[in-house]
Chain A
């Protein structure tokens, strides 16, 4: 970041990007459709399951592939588990940066580790899951997985409550987050802010409700909304969303049935979708994650575009920092 400061007050801020740029899109255009799947894990290693889902969803749209019921339920379960661990770690990192040091972060990582154990026993890898496929998921759950997951989700609210106790009434957190980094709803919409950051401004826009992809319309859950659009609201948005994720997960465990996990019509080798283009998007934990694909009928996509949530959320970084400071 190039920052002009006056004391501790930011007068100007220009983010400088590109230090981690590896031209993922070029790699995607030079790889087959299937080969891009493990690369999507690496877009955001906290949320590899949702990245997989967004890519799988786009290819399914592009090629018109149906997904079996059990696979859809598993996708919802995995996406919500991802949301839990992403939001928990985010709160931990925020408190870490605020001076609480590693303690809350380690609590968050402890809970995350349990979820990653689930991912590992299911997909073989903690973070680079590479689990979803066009037309379903790669393999079925190992025996005992669902019971372990159910137990974990039942025990998770205790952790959310503890985290809330650490955050909610804490005077330091309140002083350093309330009225800081305020964002108006108009600017948030215009600047394409998505995810919890948008909802903290009070805009009711969650793709799980709006697009109703996957089996989300089958679940009863609420969308938490903020009021002030400041850092405190954004922080609380994560706590509340974790609670809703637990609600969704409990329903999904009730509803999931045995069945096939992969659409048998889908070819794995030399997969060629018909000519056309598709844009698929999901509500990833960090915001709207979209994949825009153009197929020319070959084994590689002609154009492979990732619409990243965090990169676009950073559009307003300067505006957030320039707003009147409480001191």
Chain B
């Protein structure tokens, strides 16, 4: 009979309508911004630069190697290397970025910069409410906007951050062990020269 197909369809819509009051599977949306669904840990949106300790300048891990600038697909990263050096987390003097800009109106949050970074210096953030009234300068994040503390990184990605910390601590420990072995191997008279090539012992805690 003509019309039975339509009636069957109506039954489906009725079931969905009534079901949306009782079954969570049939109504999955939430009333944003009053309600928010939790973000998964892997969620990513725009990069930031984590720093160790309290000082965003001293603790910044970036050494201005510009690998991320080269690999960035939409070319939204702009780095100017410093002339002088500052000690990194191992105490080794390294260059640092004098300018580090990310244009988030161009950035597509692909996290390739995170993947190619050999220094764990750039990570993905989780902020997404970034609408601005101005299109250019307000959406150009400078080094001061990008630098965020390692604690912040721990608060958004606990698993990844713990892994990164363990890796960096392992590198520091390995370097210290190597230095100790080198110091033991060299005769006491030549000991003063070995420190120059290795890590500076006092800066390791910075």
Contacts and interface: CB of A to CB of B under 8 A. Distances in A.
Determine whether A and B are in direct contact in the complex, meaning some CB atoms lie less than 8 angstroms apart.
yes
Interface of A: 31-32, 34-39, 103, 107, 110, 113-114, 117, 120-125, 128, 130, 138-139, 142, 155, 162, 165-166, 168-174, 268-269
Contact of A165 (B8, B71, B124): B8
A171 B5 contact: yes
Contacts of A34: 71, 112, 116
Nearest to B118: A269
A165 B115 contact: no
Nearest to A152: B25
B4 interface: yes
Given A138-B115, A171-B5, A162 B16 contact: yes
Interface stretch (B36-44, B134-142, B171-179): B36-44
A142 B40 CA distance: 9
A269 B71 contact: yes
A169 B112 contact: no
B171 to A, nearest CB: 19
Contacts of A128: 108-110
Contacts of A120: 40, 42-43
Interface residues of B, number: 36
Contacts of A168: 5
A122 B41 CA distance: 9
Given A34-B112, A124-B43, A162-B12, 5 more contacts: A37-B112, A38-B112, A39-B73, A128-B110, A169-B4
A139 B42 contact: yes
B87 to A, nearest CB: 25
A171 B12 contact: no
Given A31-B73, A110-B28, A114-B28, A165 B42 contact: no
A269 B116 contact: yes
B6 interface: yes
Interface in B1-60: 2-6, 8-9, 11-13, 15-16, 25-29, 40-44
B67 interface: yes
Contact of A35 (B6, B15, B67, B71): B71
Contacts of A139: 42
Contact of B72 (A35, A125, A165, A173): A35
B13 A103 contact: yes
A268 B116 contact: yes
A34 B5 CA distance: 50
28 contacts: A32-B70, A34-B71, A36-B73, A38-B108, A38-B112, A39-B73, A110-B28, A120-B43, A121-B43, A124-B40, A128-B108, A128-B109, A130-B110, A138-B115, A155-B25, A162-B15, A165-B8, A165-B9, A166-B8, A166-B9, A166-B12, A166-B13, A169-B4, A169-B8, A170-B5, A171-B2, A171-B6, A268-B116
A169 B13 CA distance: 15
A296 to B, nearest CB: 19
A142 B42 CA distance: 8
A39 B74 CA distance: 9
Given A110-B28, A269-B67, A269-B71, A123 B42 contact: yes
A121 B115 CA distance: 18
A171 B197 CA distance: 83
B40 A32 contact: no
A39 B112 CA distance: 12
A139 B157 CA distance: 14
> Which of B6, B9, B116, B118 has most chain A Cβ within 10 Å?
B9
B157 to A, nearest CB: 10
Given A103-B13, A155-B25, A162-B12, A125 B5 contact: no
